[in-house]
Amino acid sequence: MLARLNAVVREGFGRYVPDDDYPGKHGMREYAKREDFNFHHHAPTLIIASNKPNYENAMADCALALENIFLAAQSLGLGSCYINQLHWLRDDTGVREFLAELGVPREHTICSSAAIGFIDKESAAPPRKVGTINIVRLALGDEPNRVSHFRFPRLTLENFSGDDA
Ligand SMILES: Cc1cc2nc3c(=O)[nH]c(=O)nc-3n(C[C@H](O)[C@H](O)[C@H](O)COP(=O)(O)O)c2cc1C
């Protein structure tokens, strides 16, 4: 089944015209020309998250559901990866026809998917990107502001250095 889906996705990328400059989209079109193309990294399981197309939180809902799946996979000692290709090909007729055969509702938009498999080789944690996260710390009892009848703690904004985590 996944081999057939991979073949259908490969054909889809043959027709695919990227709608922006995102390098991954252009790279994937090139990669799909290769015989060894496999968009789900040969993982034995692919979980597809689809949703109502005119629902503003469609993508957020699906991304959160997949995040829970990634965390569950990690806790079970499994590997997982966010897989975007079905989202890019969500309007491709050939891909949608095959997904409909698999039971994905035709009226849904494809938000994302998760590949789940067995870890081949543990990868090292990548280095932290210093200075990219701002953390608001609550300092209780320090210079409280009175708003209505509540006392609010002072808020301080710090640039996360990544050293103290
Ligand atoms: C929205 C989103 C889409 C992604 N799509 C793909 C994908 O299609 N294929 C893939 O191999 N990895 C995909 N990834 C995984 C990233 O390439 C990367 O491995 C992951 O975000 C962890 O990176 P980090 O450790 O630098 O945060 C995606 C990640 C995100 C957040």
pLDDT tens digits, one per residue of 25-37: 999 999 999 999 9
* CATH of range 2-117; options 3.60.15.10, 3.40.50.720, 3.40.50.970, 3.40.109.10: 3.40.109.10
Q: Is 70 in the pocket of ligand 1 (CB under 6 A)?
A: no
Mutating to test ligand 1, I would choose from 29, 81, 129, 132 the residue with most ligand atoms within 8 A of its C-beta, which is: 81
* Whole-number Å distance between alpha carbons of 35 and 99: 22
Burial class (CB in 10 A: 0-12, 13-18, 19+), 151: exposed
| Bridge partner residues of 159 (DSSP) | 134
Ligand 1 atom index nearest CA of 28: 8
Report residue 59 as tokens.
């993508």
Q: What is the pLDDT of residue 141?
A: 57
Distance of CA 165 to the CA centre of its chain: 24
How far away, in angstroms, is 116 Cα from ligand 1 center?
A: 13
Length of the chain: 165
How far away, in angstroms, is 143 Cα from ligand 1 center?
A: 43
Beta strands in the chain (DSSP E): 45-51, 79-83, 109-117, 133-139, 145-147, 150-152, 154-160
Residue nearest to atom 26 of ligand 1 (CA): 126
How far away, in angstroms, is 36 Cα from ligand 1 center?
A: 20
pTM for the model? 0.83
Q: Sorting pLDDT into bands at 50, 70 and 90, what band is 164?
A: very low
How are the residues of the chain apportioned to helix, strand and coil, as percentages rounded to the nearest 5?
A: 35, 25, 40
Judged against a pLDDT cut of 90, whether residue 151 lies above it is answered with no
Q: 3, 37 in Cβ contact below 8 A?
A: no
pLDDT tens digits, one per residue of 71-125: 999 999 999 999 999 999 999 999 999 999 999 999 999 999 999 999 988 889 9
Q: Is 80 in the pocket of ligand 1 (CB under 6 A)?
A: no
Whose tokens are 């997904």? That residue is 99
Residue 89 vs residues 12, 107, 128: alpha-carbon distances, Å: 7, 15, 32
Mean per-residue pLDDT for 43-60? 97
Domain-wise residue ranges, the chain = 2-117, 124-165
Judged against a pLDDT cut of 90, whether residue 66 lies above it is answered with yes
Q: Is 109 in the pocket of ligand 1 (CB under 6 A)?
A: no
